[in-house]
A and B are shown apart, each in its own frame.
Chain A
Amino acid sequence: MTGFARLALASLLAIAASGIARADDALKAKIGVLRLSSSAPVFIAQDKGYFREAGLDIELKFFDAAQPIAVATTSGDVDFGVTAFTAGLYNLAGKGTLKVIGGMSREKAGYPLIGYFASNNAYAAGLKTPKDLAGKRIAVTQVGSSFHYSLGLLADKYGFKLADIKVLPLQSLSNAAAALKGETVDAALLPVSTARTLIDSDGAKLLGWVGDETPWQLGAVFASPKALTNNALVTKLLGALVRADREYHDVILASVKDGKAAINDKTKPLLEIIAKYTILPVEQVVGNCAYIDPDGKLDVKNVANQISWLQEQGFVDKGFGVDAIIAKEYVKAD
């Protein structure tokens, strides 16, 4: 009888243990990302199996703009998001529907991402440096976007008022590029990927890069409240991402010269992964490498500055600060 009871107990334990083990190696999660090289570590961690080795089953969901990723995280369609900070993201985070857990891409000197571009006429009329943008008509995609904030930082740096600039929201990158080419604006802020065709066809002139003028924390990793309750999941995910961050930093970013990564035996495998996920030829990927901190750190001070700037402009609801939107137990501050 006791023998039978022991057997029963043992088998029960075994079933329970196997159940735990199964739950353990199948921690499922969905990550929302853009097909941009600024999410390169996510692609590397997925392609080289770092997520799998950490015991995660990750599914990547691709979006075509930053804002929908934040909305999808709020609605629970994805558990994590990797994308740029936007005013919309802060408004959602301020209501507690998502929290920042780590840093991603940055504007940093020597790594071109967003540039200031002048129309040919404005350039001929003396718009030669970012400083000259004061008092001009400048196209951005949306109010409260990364481009708008970059302009605000530039205004602070050179001591002119943002109100002196006529900021024109044109809703899409193609509209902004068309306005610049059609000489209906003096300048526009565009990402290097959109601007390349314009510059190559001599439709606009490059004035400088945001990273060289005003470095700032462009992107982040954030999680839904439901994902945040699963400590093991978040820790493992961040661990795998940092491993990829480090590799991306040491291999690709270390080879960047004049804004371009080198194509050699060491960088080629990683560049090919990025090319695969961003659906771009390797030759274009090399000129488009966002800086990412090797330890996945977040520039918390700059995030605080972004929030207060957006609140001052009236784009973000007042009444919360950086502490309210950051999951302190996970974020490594810069």
Chain B
Amino acid sequence: MLDRAPQETQDETRPRPVAFRGAGFTPSAGRYSGWIALALVIAFWQLAGSAGWVNALFLPPPSAIVAAIYKLALSGALWQHLSWSVMRIGSGWILGTIAGVIVGFGIGLSTLARGVGITFISALFPIPKIALLPLLILWLGIGEEPKIATIALGVFFSTAISVYSGVDAVPRNLIRMAQSFNVPFHLIVRRVIWPGALPSILAGFRITASVALLLVVSAEMIGAQYGIGAFVLQAGNLMQTDQLLAGVVILSVFGLVVGKGINLLEARLLHWR
């Protein structure tokens, strides 16, 4: 008995090799998987078009879209459209972001601003900006102002919301510690709250950059002669479906470029993470 018992326990307590399980979920963007999936979808799309499974009018094949973009680039109109849209998106986004960051910090830091600001944001954010187009035309005319204002308005609300939730999410104990060390208010904002809120502010930028791209189409409904949005609208009005999709592809490439830009910005500003 005595001889056997330790042997049994030894058997049970013998270290069993267990694979490391606690790796967490860390999806990392694969280098190729995204591109391969994209290429497969495009190849299938082209096949459907070339084989005549779908009418080219209802879904132009990728080759027709590429041809439309090439023609557009060759005529020089592409650069004209792009430069006008970049100007509108850029200035609208910058104006909306500056105002949004200021208001967002106000809401995050002051009781009065919080009460007033959240009420107004909740009341005004859900208004569809397109419904206001006739009014925007009456107020601001049909020059660049209403177009930039449309984009800036869309960007402003999302930015303000993401900034104040970012400020709210900064750990209170860090702020309390700074306060007990008698750090002045502006330094707390700059050294503690700003870096703490930055991750969610940058996440907000990612959304607002897309919002600006979405809104450029409705902004350019207002008497624009050039611009990617105006080009897409015109192609839709004229039932030139290949050009319509060409405009859409340009917009989404633009979105990819902006996304990459924000990645770079995150890598630089958030290197401490």
Residues of A near any B CB (own CB < 8 A): 67, 70-71, 74-75, 86-89, 91-92, 95, 97, 139, 142-145, 167-172, 174-175, 177-179, 181-182, 184-185, 315-317
Q: Is the CB of B221 within 8 A of A317?
A: no
- Interface-lining segment among B39-47, B118-126, B186-194, B232-240: B232-240
Q: Is the CB of B239 within 8 A of A91?
A: yes
> CA A181 – CA B138 in complex, angstroms?
8
- Majority SS of interface residues in chain B? loop
Of A75, A87, A92, A182, which one neighbours B138 at CB under 8 angstroms?
Answer: A182
B137 CB-CB contact with A under 8 Å: yes
Q: Is the CB of A175 within 8 A of B138?
A: no
Residues of B near any A CB (own CB < 8 A): 57-58, 133-135, 137-139, 141-143, 221-225, 230, 233-234, 237-240
Task: Report chain B residues within 8 Å CB of A139.
Answer: 142, 223
Q: By CB atoms of chain A within 10 A, which of B137, B138, B233 has the most?
A: B137
Q: By CB atoms of chain B within 10 A, which of A95, A174, A175 has the most?
A: A175
A-B interface contact total, Cβ < 8 Å: 81
> CA A169 – CA B235 in complex, angstroms?
13
Task: Report chain A residues within 8 Å CB of B133.
Answer: 172, 175
Shortest Cβ gap from B36 to chain A (Å): 34
Q: Is the CB of B141 within 8 A of A182?
A: yes
Q: Is the CB of B238 within 8 A of A175?
A: no
Of B223, B233, B234, which one neighbours A179 at CB under 8 angstroms?
Answer: B223
Q: Is the CB of A87 within 8 A of B238?
A: yes
Q: Is the CB of A144 within 8 A of B237?
A: yes
Shortest Cβ gap from B233 to chain A (Å): 7
Closest to B218 in A: A171
Given A92-B57, A170-B222, A171-B221, check contact A142 B138 (CB 8 Å): no
Q: Is the CB of A170 within 8 A of B142?
A: yes
Task: Report chain B residues within 8 Å CB of A167.
Answer: 225
Q: Is the CB of B223 within 8 A of A316?
A: no
Q: Is the CB of A175 within 8 A of B134?
A: yes
Given A95-B57, A175-B222, check contact A169 B239 (CB 8 Å): no
Of B143, B233, B238, which one neighbours A171 at CB under 8 angstroms?
Answer: B233
Closest to B57 in A: A95
> CA A29 – CA B222 in complex, angstroms?
39
Task: Report chain B residues within 8 Å CB of A87.
Answer: 237-239
9 interchain residue pairs of minimum CB distance: A168-B223, A88-B239, A184-B141, A178-B134, A182-B138, A142-B237, A171-B221, A91-B239, A178-B137
> CA A143 – CA B240 in complex, angstroms?
13
Q: By CB atoms of chain B within 10 A, which of A67, A71, A97, A169 has the most?
A: A169
Shortest Cβ gap from A85 to chain B (Å): 13
